[in-house]
Structures are given as structure tokens and as C-alpha cells.
Amino acid sequence: GQQLNQSPQSMFIQEGEDVSMNCTSSSIFNTWLWYKQDPGEGPVLLIALYKAGELTSNGRLTAQFGITRKDSFLNISASIPSDVGIYFCAGQLRTYSGGGADGLTFGKGTHLIIQP
Amino acid sequence: DGGITQSPKYLFRKEGQNVTLSCEQNLNHDAMYWYRQDPGQGLRLIYYSQIVNDFQKGDIAEGYSVSREKKESFPLTVTSAQKNPTAFYLCASSMYSSGPYNEQFFGPGTRLTVL
């Protein structure tokens, strides 16, 4: 099956610092999604990317869909305490014809810890 | 208030017993999904359904069963055949069953512990 490598596995940063994490895939995707998960909760969608090269922002978050369609990164600027959590990338390869509600392939997550 | 609900939040069962996890959505979404999450791991797809009365196996379907009798509901049964059922189970839904724009939204999860 498809493999997603997400790095780093964990990050210890100071409040106010910028954060960067990325995912690489062994195969191409048509869609990249970034989620944040708090302990004991379901993941919450942060950013969705649908086109190679696309750069999308959501407040202090910026994500890019790599040109090769095999990678994506997420940046968080000026981190604050509520940014703590686990960030997951997820990819999906879907076609226009035939469709199919395939599930997402997830990375193993980046655990963000912020020191005040 | 639209959303996805999963119940219960915590579930304990004895080894060898079947257990059914509930997932309901009022978003009018066509597609629904079940994922399993283990500590330190990403989510892995168990089953998904594009439409009522139809469902497909995901990557780790062995030991699980599902039904989709109503658009709003997609219950998951963890059977005694599942070798390691203790995990965090997440249900998700998306608006379309086909096409490129298919953002999945997740419920709050059910933590199943088999004693």
C-alpha cells in the first residue's frame, strides 16, 4: 500500500517560534490534507490542498502541495500554547471517472510541544 | 448543529465478546468511513461506504463488520475474530462519494478496551 513518511516525529519549541513539518509519499496523490488532533479527540481538518504547487493559508498556518505530488509541508508561524497537539498529513488519490470513496492514507503524526 | 457523533466515548468489553460502535452524522454526507488509531500511529482505514447498502473493505478489515442501512448511520462491529481490538476508533464522513474534492470530517472517537 501507499506509505507516508511524516517528519519530524516530535518537536519541542518555544512559544512564538515558527514550526515546519512535512510529509513525503512513495506514490502520487491528488489531494493532501492536514489535520490536528488533541488528546482523546477526533482529528480536525486544518487545510486541504488539491493542485500541485498550490500554497494555501489558514490564519497562521500555511501548507503547500509539492510539485511532484509526492510531498507536502505545513508551517505554523508564531506558535501559541493552543497549537500543542498532534498534526497529521493525509493523502488521497482519487479519479474523476468512477469516483470511489477511498479512505485517506495518514502519516504517523508530528507531536508538537510548546514550552512557555 | 450539524456533525458526527460517536457513542459511547469509552467502552470496555471482555475478550471474546462482539461489540458494536455507533456512528451517526446529520451532515447529509454520502460517504462514511471507519478508522483505527493505535498509540503513536496514524489512522488506518477499516471499512468505508459510498452509499446506503454498499460498503468496501479498507486496509485492515479482518475481524470487523459494518452495515449501512441508513445514510446517517454506519455502525462498526468488532468481532471476537479481531486479534487486538483495543484501540481508538474514529468515524468520518465526506460529502461526495466521488470526485476530487472530498474533505473528510471526523467524529470524537470511541476508545475500546478489551479486558
pLDDT beyond 60 at B99 = no
Is residue B48 within 8 angstroms of chain A, CB to CB?
A: yes
Is residue B10 within 8 angstroms of chain A, CB to CB?
A: no
pLDDT beyond 80 at B28 = yes
pLDDT at A58: 94
Residues of chain A positioned with their CB less than 8 A from the CB of B106: 35, 42-44
pLDDT at A98: 46
DSSP labels for A53-108? Answer: T-EEEETTEEEEE-TTSSEEEEEE-S--GGG-EEEEEEEE---SSS-----PEE--
Task: Provide mean pLDDT across the span B25-29.
Answer: 94
Instruction: Report CA-CA distances (Å) from B20 to A11, A71, B79, B100.
Output: 37, 37, 9, 32
pLDDT beyond 90 at B10 = yes
Residues of chain A positioned with their CB less than 8 A from the CB of B6: 42
For A54-112, the pLDDT digits (tens) are 999 999 999 999 999 999 999 999 999 999 999 999 998 765 444 455 678 899 999 99
CB neighbour class for A113 (10 Å; exposed up to 12, middle 13-18, buried from 19): exposed
Range name among A12-16, A61-65, A81-85, B94-98 with the lowest pLDDT average: B94-98
Task: Provide mean pLDDT across the span A32-59.
Answer: 94
Per this entry, what is the length of chain B? 115
pLDDT at B79: 94
CA of B65 to nearest chain A CA: how many angstroms apart? 16
Q: Which residue of A has its CA nearest to B97?
A: A101
User: Rounded mean pLDDT of chain B?
Assistant: 91
Q: Which residue of A has its CA nearest to B46?
A: A103
Contact A101 B107 (CB under 8 A): no
pLDDT band at A21, cuts 50/70/90?
very high
Q: Is the dihedral of CA A48, B42, B108, B106 positive or negative?
A: positive
Task: Provide mean pLDDT across the span B80-98.
Answer: 88
pLDDT at A97: 47
Across-strand partners of B78?
B19, B64
Neighbouring CB atoms inside 10 A of A62's CB total 16
pLDDT at B96: 73
Contact A99 B98 (CB under 8 A): yes
